[in-house]
Amino acid sequence: MDADLVKDLIKSIVDNPNNSENYLKLASIYIQNKEYDSAIGVYEALITVEPANYVALTNLGSMYYCKYDYLRSVNYYSRAAGLGIEDASIYFNLGNAYAELGEFKHAVSNYIKALNIDKSNYMVYSAIAMLYQDQENYEEALLYFEKALKLCNSIPENYANIALVQMKMSKFTDAAYNFKKALELSNNNEKYMLYCANAYSAAREYDKANSYFNEVISINPNYLQSYLCYALSLYEQGKSAEAVDSYNKAIDLNPKFINAYILLGNLYFSEKDFELAAENYKKVIELSPANANAYILLGNTYVMLNDLRSAISLYKQAIDIDTDNDEIKLAYIEIVQEFIKNKTTDENNYAA
């Protein structure tokens, strides 16, 4: 950073505080040197003397957005928008900030204002679609993602976004088609390859699914998620032993991969091999002692093993971790009641 230039600009600001150019030049230097807090201070000093400075207001909105201070971001973007300058980007940015605050209506309203000025920005349509997707309004989400695709069909994400919504709508064959388009545009990106495999598996086109699963694993043998997805698909195909093998490959690659132990435990539970299910759930607790779900799963397993005393203890530990979970509390009460009932029956039988 040119320290002498910074000193000269600061002196110029002190001597002539109404010259906005000096503020903007100084802030630009701070930004170039990643001294963002200093830049914010300069912009905020500028708007005290020139409250309608559009550059300062928009840059403050952007910088506070990057600092995750969305309320201040909204404040500065709104002040910039209030100046009446026809700029689609300011409404797009304001929509983004409202979206981060969970303000659905305000976010959509500002995105629509951006489109009224410039209908050619596919990212605005995608942003609206994502809001509807978050609201689980998949029909509207799909509509806006398709509008984004019409404007820009050269980006793999635009096809993938449509496909992800189609998966939610159980349109698995359509999703597979769009994932394939994303895959072609991405130069065989392994993420899209795995998406293709999952879509074909959901559509029960298992030959195609298995082909993609094997291809993605051959390209990247260390892609942990691919082994889990493949295992889930193999189990759906009735190939339990191969599914177990796929889970174990993931565990071999990462012995601390909690999801692999949980899913493998679930498989054994479904197969009524409760001892092996318990082993995997215990491993999860060993790796993540604050994982309430693992205690519940292990508790359920002990219920199936008719060890209600151990199950009660595990549910109690889950409640201690997740104190607001009413479902755990209900399960705990039911098991305690069952335990008391069984104990009373045993005592009556003994007395008889």
The answer to whether 262 and 287 have CB atoms below 8 angstroms apart is: no
* Nearest by Cα to 264 from 274, 277, 250: 277
Label residue 6 by pLDDT band (50, 70, 90).
confident
Phi, psi of 169 (to 5 degrees): -90, 5
Surface-to-core class of residue 22, CB atoms within 10 Å of its CB (0-12 exposed, 13-18 middle, 19+ buried): buried
Q: What is the pLDDT of residues 134-167, one digit of tens each?
A: 999 999 999 999 999 999 999 999 999 999 999 9
pLDDT attached to residue 67? 96
pLDDT attached to residue 345? 53
Checking if the pLDDT of 351 tops 60, the result is no
Between CA 276 and CA 270 the distance in angstroms is 11
Q: What CATH number does the domain located at 170-254 have?
A: 1.25.40.10
- Written as one string, the DSSP assignment of 306-328 is T-HHHHHHHHHHHHHHSTT-HHH
Beta-carbon count within 10 A of 181 CB? 19
The answer to whether 211 and 199 have CB atoms below 8 angstroms apart is: no
Token code pair at residue 8: 């000269």
- Classified as helix, coil or strand, 165 is helix
The answer to whether 53 and 44 have CB atoms below 8 angstroms apart is: no
Q: Where are the domains of the chain?
A: 170-254, 268-352
Token code pair at residue 123: 């990212």
Q: How far is CA 331 from CA 42, 96, 223, 310, 335, in A?
A: 58, 41, 37, 14, 6
Fold (topology level) of 268-352? 1.25.40
**Percent of the residues in the chain that have a pLDDT greater than 70, as a whole number:** 96
Whether 170-254 shares its CATH topology with 268-352 is answered yes
Checking if the pLDDT of 19 tops 50, the result is yes
Between CA 92 and CA 109 the distance in angstroms is 10
Q: What is the pLDDT of residues 297-344, one digit of tens each?
A: 999 999 999 998 898 899 899 999 988 877 777 777 777 777 676 655
